[in-house]
Amino acid sequence: MRYLKIIFLSFFLFAITVSAYAVEPINAEDYGLPATNVRIENLISEIVKWVLLIAGPACMVALVYGGIRYAFAGSNEDRVDQAKKIVRYAVIGVIIIISAYAITQLIKGLVEGNFPEAPVL
């Protein structure tokens, strides 16, 4: 059940990101606001970068913490299992963080159309 919640949350966050990139840019001057060059895809990209800036070191701290607990677990199987779970979830967190950044940059590149051309061999 726990994994279903994680999978559902991942797809939900992905859907929010994709739908945010599909929004047409609005003209701020139509609403009496000062004109800016902020586009929604750039805003989402910056938010994701800040979240990753916080989540990345947190995952690394969890990984080190799990490693230290594993090193000091000795022959106690319960402590070894807890340490393995901490390390496993930290690695999964790093994978999710890298995937989130890659997906966000991929969608941003698709929306803006500024991908570099593939090298020709």
User: Three-class SS of residue 54?
Assistant: helix
The DSSP code sequence of 4-15 is HHHHHHHHHHHH
CB atoms inside a 10 Å sphere around CB 121:
3
pLDDT averaged over the chain? 76
- In angstroms, how far is the first alpha carbon of the chain from the final one? 48
Q: Are 105 and 45 in contact (CB under 8 A)?
A: yes
pLDDT band at 56 (very low <50, low <70, confident <90, very high): confident
pLDDT digits (tens, 9 = 90+) for 59-83: 888 889 999 999 998 889 999 999 9
User: What residue segments make up the domains of the chain, in order of their start?
Assistant: 2-112
Dihedral angle sign, alpha carbons of residues 39, 41, 47, 52: negative
pLDDT band at 18 (very low <50, low <70, confident <90, very high): low
Reference 98, options 59, 47, 43; nearest CA is 59
- Quote the pTM value: 0.58
Which of 20-24, 44-48, 55-59, 97-101 is least confident?
A: 20-24
Reference 93, options 118, 57, 117; nearest CA is 57
**From CA 5, how far away is CA 114, in angstroms rounded?**
35
